[in-house]
Amino acid sequence: MSIIFDEKKKVFKLDTPNTSYAFHITNSKHLLHLYYGKKIPETDLTFLLRIPNDEPFVPATHDAMGPHSFDCAPIEFPTSGVADFREPSMQLMDENGMSACECYYKDYKIYKGKKPLKGLPATYGDEDDVTSLEVYCHDPLNGLEIILQYSVFEKLDIITRSVKVQNKGKSPLELRRLLSLSVDLDHKDFDMITLNGTWARERHVERAPLRFGKQVVDSCRGATSHAHNNFIALCDHKADEDYGEAYGFALVYSGSFISGCEVYQYEKTRVFSGINPYDFSWHLKIDEEFQAPEVIMTFSYQGLGQMSRNLHDVIRQHLIRGKWKDIRRPVLINNWEATYFNFDTEKLIQIARDAAQAGIDMLVMDDGWFGGRSDDTTSLGDWYVNEEKIKGGLKYLVDEVNKLGLKFGIWFEPEMISPDSDLYRKHPDWCIHIPGRYRTTARSQLVLDFSRKDVRDYIYSRIKEILSSANIEYVKWDMNRQLSEVGNEVLPAIRQREIWHRYVLGVYEMQERLLTDFPDLLLENCAGGGARYDCGMLYYSPQIWTSDDTDAIERLKIQHGTSMCYPCSTMGAHVSAVPNHCVGRTTPFQTRGHVALVGTFGYELDITKLSDEEKSAIKEQIAEFDKYNFLVRSGDFYRIGNPFKSTRFDAWEFVAKDKSEALLQYVQILKTPSLFLHRIRLKGLEQGQYYRHEQTGKVYSAEILMNSGFDIPNLWGDFHSYLAYFKKV
């Protein structure tokens, strides 16, 4: 069993193939964390607690614990107001205005498989994949029932955690905070890794030593945000890609979040993650419940690379769903950077004709096809085809594109409304707003109130009608601003602070309806580029637009950072025109193709303006995509270079799960004079085996490739790239 309960020692122990996680029930019915790390055989682990019993000047509670102070105990589910002065997982307000709450153990249940989380995305698995544990706790004073939820993936080094609360008391309660995860680790000697940035510069890696106090990344924007991602990692100070201990924590949620660490006075570290308590509350009537989102946890003693591969595996195998989970996705061409708003039926068919000749699979019509939309100031919410642009109607356009041999996709921004729109003039109360307060716009738009069922139902009906009117096989779902002035005129005052979370639940419901009604649809999420790149969105869409910055050199950093948590198969990546529209940089066509090959692969340019040589290069790039996509989509990913540390090069590698093949990709960022050939050590090959380099036919031992390395040919000039493919002989 991967989960056991030692009745004598009162210890729960959760084992993955290489890791163990353990916690203990005290005599006072409290839960104390014992261990999370490399796999161990023992269950008699209470000696690991190391709690002082004579600590001065801090309240000591519950004599049955020792007596010990809560303030130095590694509490499995810490609560507010009861002598633990560190970051709590739960806080509430009762009818008397009291905010203290407690968590006492009652019972447990271990079972095979994994239950879904109501209304929320979560990992999944059957009885052969997962064993789950529910620990039933309560607060006897207010009647709150607390269910701690754990799942262990039998074949992966992955554990998930969540929590659900139910009001079984005699009066309503107001939930002020419910974090999904809290883990107390036994020392403070960690670096914390976060993924930070802004628009067009998302998920840049920042690594810094922990210090005393709280180190937090968060969003109070109603979405994950460009600024911070809701994944964090902790690792040894000397840990690198291949060596050292590393913990990874990924929140399966797409709204406001908080994730961070607190190093407290006893030189230990509390890690926490969940819904941001900023401006949040949830009114729990008697018998009502609230489900927190899930956190995916992993531990690696083989460096950051293995931490990432653990997360990649669980996301690909047990989070992404549907038809497109494990198959080749179409190579698409999007007209946005080709035309922006300046297009019509004739222009799109011209693009489709040239795209078909180049071997591209799909044309995607981006923003500007609906209402009176000719720029970004108008018509969001008016989801009716603009037949002055789309002459002959949408079905005619789609049919003509299909006749050319291409699939057809379309862009929506369902969560937004323009003040200059028919929908807003008819329903000005449908946006998120505070009555009487100024309505702040961003990109000339407001946010529709997806906490309201009537709003969701109307918008969904318009989307469904459009998708049902023609053979549309792909949707790009965009979201170009975050939430402000959060309120509405529907919910009572006591439930107004629920809108933040209800909005996210509404988005999830909408995307679930979409996939239910159109199960063959390929959905790609987007949020001003990568502002909502998280595990919550990946439950609904197998790919996310990684960034609006498509420059190949900038994408090295963005894709490197994204890969810390998220598999390459999820990264929307396109070859775009030069000079690049974000940074003005000119890079070789081959390099743009090699960088985009890391992700879903497609084109973001006006193919009708390309030279014959470039059109021929597209055919060659698509042939490379077809050859290597299975390996990229399903293989193990190894980061070899680091564009945050070197301006000379970046390199990465994909290795098949059975070690039968490997693909090395290299980008020379800035050419350095007077150097020998750059020798790159490969990773992940099968020792004792030999590999043939496809381009030269030369055979190398795995040992020579991994211990000495492979010479990259001399590349002349900045921004050039090289690809090397190896097959086991």
What are the start-end ranges of the H helices in 81-147?
none
Mean pLDDT, range 299-312, rounded to an integer: 98
> 719, 647, 564, 587: which is closest to 202 by C-alpha?
564
Report whether 574 contacts 555 (CB < 8 A). Answer: no
Show the CA angle centred on residue 144, arms to residues 138 and 146, nearest 5°.
55
What pLDDT score does 43 carry?
Answer: 93
Structural domains of the chain in order of their starting residue, each with its CATH number: 3-318 (2.70.98.60), 332-415+449-480+520-633 (3.20.20.70), 649-728 (2.60.40.1180)
What pLDDT score does 56 carry?
Answer: 57
Amino acid at position 467, single letter? L
Is 478 assigned a catalytic role?
Answer: yes
What pLDDT score does 60 carry?
Answer: 55
Q: What is the pTM of this model?
A: 0.97
Per residue in 421-449, pLDDT (tens digit) is 999 999 999 999 999 999 999 999 999 99
H helices, E strands: number in the chain: 12, 41
Per residue in 631-674, pLDDT (tens digit) is 999 999 999 999 999 999 999 999 999 999 999 999 999 998 87
How would you classify the pairing of strands 362-365 and 332-334?
A: parallel
Mean pLDDT, range 141-153, rounded to an integer: 97
Mean pLDDT, range 706-724, rounded to an integer: 96
Both tokens of residue 725?
């493919």
Per residue in 254-271, pLDDT (tens digit) is 999 999 999 998 899 999
User: Could you give the maximum distance between any two Cα atoms of the chain, in Å?
Assistant: 82
What pLDDT score does 49 carry?
Answer: 86
CA distances, 291 to each of 122, 180, 274 (Å): 12, 9, 11
What pLDDT score does 82 carry?
Answer: 87
What pLDDT score does 63 carry?
Answer: 45
Report whether 411 contacts 365 (CB < 8 A). Answer: yes
SS3 68: strand
What pLDDT score does 260 carry?
Answer: 98
pLDDT tier at 178, thresholds 50, 70, 90: very high
Q: Is the pLDDT of residue 380 over 70?
A: yes
Q: What is the average pLDDT score of the chain?
A: 96
Phi, psi (5° rounding) for residue 708?
-105, -55
Q: Which of 367, 382, 534, 548 is catalytic?
A: 548
What pLDDT score does 603 carry?
Answer: 98
Mean pLDDT, range 100-106, rounded to an integer: 95
Both tokens of residue 460?
């969904």
For the chain, percent of residues with pLDDT exceeding 90: 94
Written as one string, the DSSP assignment of 451-489 is: TSHHHHHHHHHHHHHHHHTTT--EEEE-------S---S
Q: Residue 193 and residue 213: Cα distance in Å, rounded?
A: 16
Bridge partners of 710?
Answer: 680
Per residue in 183-206, pLDDT (tens digit) is 999 999 999 999 999 999 999 999
Centre a 10 Å sphere on the Cβ of residue 287 and count the other Cβ atoms it contains: 9
Both tokens of residue 465?
């009608």
Q: Is the pLDDT of residue 57 over 70?
A: no
Report whether 368 contacts 379 (CB < 8 A). Answer: no
Show the CA angle centred on residue 633, arms to residues 630 and 636, nearest 5°.
105
Q: Residue 62 and residue 70: Cα distance in Å, rounded?
A: 9
Report whether 522 contacts 409 (CB < 8 A). Answer: yes
Report whether 316 contacts 569 (CB < 8 A). Answer: yes
Is 15 assigned a catalytic role?
Answer: no
For the chain, percent of residues with pLDDT exceeding 70: 98
What pLDDT score does 64 carry?
Answer: 42
CA distances, 331 to each of 356, 406, 574 (Å): 11, 10, 9
Mean pLDDT, range 444-470, rounded to an integer: 98
Q: Which of 478, 534, 551, 650 is catalytic?
A: 478
Q: Which residue has the tokens 């693009």?
A: 351
Q: Residue 505 and residue 498: Cα distance in Å, rounded?
A: 11
Orientation of helix 612-634 relative to helix 589-596, angle to 10°: 20
What pLDDT score does 448 carry?
Answer: 98
Mean pLDDT, range 599-617, rounded to an integer: 96
Four-CA torsion 516, 518, 522, 523, nearest 10 degrees: -60
Report whether 378 contacts 413 (CB < 8 A). Answer: no
